[in-house]
């Protein structure tokens, strides 16, 4: 799997959090809060779907649906405003951000009409190799603390990390295939960057 190296300026904040550098396909849990992850990249890398064993041939039952995913990436959906802190000093400063809004993020897709949500989730889980949900709630009051280098601004957005998947959705008994992009909730967390 292709990984992009992060600049040293982006690795330092995660080192302070006690977590290894977060790559786009591997945001890291916050210490003492395993349900909340922090990451830097936002849909900047696209990964091929993970290889899955071919299922045994089963009879196609009319109405059954499949979602065969070819690629996936991470996408962060904000819940509440983006926060920032500028360090105008010559020394590293500590920035603490607190979630001021709570909200629920649900699965969504880019085509009109109804699709079977359980099939979208199953296809996305097989492609990304992680457990996903139909919806997740980002709760009020969650905090993250990161170092801000001298003369830099740390920007933090709270919300829900989703797996963005691209693939083919097909219903058994129908010849029409639909290209579908779906955004499936994965983890509550922060999207953090330095500028």
Answer yes or no: is pLDDT of 75 > 70: yes
- Find all residues with CB under 8 Å of 48, minimum gap 6, and list them: 70, 71
Closest CA to 87 of 13, 9, 151: 151
Q: How many of the other CB atoms lie within 10 Å of CB of 126?
A: 17
% of the chain at pLDDT higher than 90: 52
pLDDT-derived band at 25 (thresholds 50, 70, 90) equals low
Closest CA to 73 of 189, 180, 162: 162
- Tell me the per-residue pLDDT of 140-187, one tens digit each, with 9 for 90 and over: 889 998 899 999 999 999 999 999 999 999 998 888 899 999 999 999
β-pair type (33-39, 177-194): parallel
* Average pLDDT, integer, range 103-119: 92
Q: What is the pLDDT of residue 49?
A: 87
Q: What is the pLDDT of residue 46?
A: 80
Q: What is the pLDDT of residue 70?
A: 94
């Amino acid at each position: 799997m292709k990984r992009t190296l992060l600049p040293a300026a982006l690795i330092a904040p995660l080192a302070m959090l006690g977590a290894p550098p977060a790559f786009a396909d591997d945001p890291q849990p916050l210490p003492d809060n395993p349900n909340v992850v922090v990451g830097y990249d936002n849909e900047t890398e696209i990964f091929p779907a993970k290889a899955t064993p071919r299922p045994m041939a089963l009879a196609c039952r009319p109405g059954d649906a499949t979602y065969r995913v070819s690629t996936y990436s991470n996408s962060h959906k904000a819940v509440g405003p983006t926060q920032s802190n500028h360090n105008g000093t010559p020394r590293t400063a500590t920035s603490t951000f607190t979630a001021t809004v709570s909200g629920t993020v649900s699965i969504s897709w880019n085509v009109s009409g109804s699709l079977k949500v359980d099939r979208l989730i199953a296809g996305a889980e097989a492609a990304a190799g992680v457990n996903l949900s139909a919806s997740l709630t980002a709760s009020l009051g969650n905090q993250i603390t990161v170092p801000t280098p001298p003369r830099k601004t740390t920007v933090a957005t709270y919300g829900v990390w989703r797996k963005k998947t691209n693939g083919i959705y097909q219903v058994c008994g129908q010849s029409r295939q639909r290209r579908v992009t779906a955004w499936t909730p994965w983890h509550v967390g922060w999207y953090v960057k330095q500028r």
